[in-house]
Amino acid sequence: MSQQPDGKNSALPYAEVLAPRLWSWILPIGFGACLGIAFGAAYTTAVGWLVGGLTAAVLVTWVALVWRTRIEVDSQEVRADRARLPARYIGRVRPLDRDEAFAARTHQADPRAYNVLRTWATHTSVAFEVTDPQDPHPYWLVSTRRPEALADALVAARDAAGSG
Residue 100's nearest CA partner among 143, 150, 149, 155 is: 143
- Are 116 and 144 within one domain? yes
Tell me the pLDDT tens digit for each residue of 76-116: 999 999 999 999 999 999 999 999 999 999 988 999 999 99
Residue 112 in domain: yes
pLDDT-wise least confident of 21-25, 29-33, 43-47: 21-25
Range of the domain at 157: 72-161
Mean residue pLDDT across the chain:
89
- Are 34 and 87 within one domain? no
Q: What's the Cα-to-Cα distance from 54 to each of 25, 27, 31, 46, rounded to whole Å?
A: 15, 15, 11, 12
DSSP one-letter code for 15: E
Domain closes at, from 66, 92, 121 = 66
Count how many domains the chain has.
2
Q: Report the pLDDT value the prediction gives residue 9, as an integer from 0 to 100.
A: 44
Residue 8 in domain: no
- Are 49 and 120 within one domain? no
Residue 7 in domain: no
- Are 79 and 127 within one domain? yes
Mean pLDDT of 13-23: 88
Q: Report the pLDDT value the prediction gives residue 1, as an integer from 0 to 100.
A: 38
Residue 76 in domain: yes
- Are 59 and 76 within one domain? no
Residue 128 in domain: yes
Tell me the pLDDT tens digit for each residue of 37-79: 999 999 999 999 999 999 999 999 998 888 889 999 999 999 9
- Are 77 and 157 within one domain? yes
- Are 132 and 100 within one domain? yes
Q: Which is more confidently placed, 9 or 69?
A: 69
Residue 39 in domain: yes
Q: What is the pTM of this model?
A: 0.77
Residue 2 in domain: no
- Are 94 and 118 within one domain? yes
- What is the CA angle 28-34-35, rounded to 5? 90
- Are 77 and 150 within one domain? yes
Beta-bridge partner residues of 84: 79
Residue 32 in domain: yes
Per-residue pLDDT band at 12 (split at 50, 70, 90): low
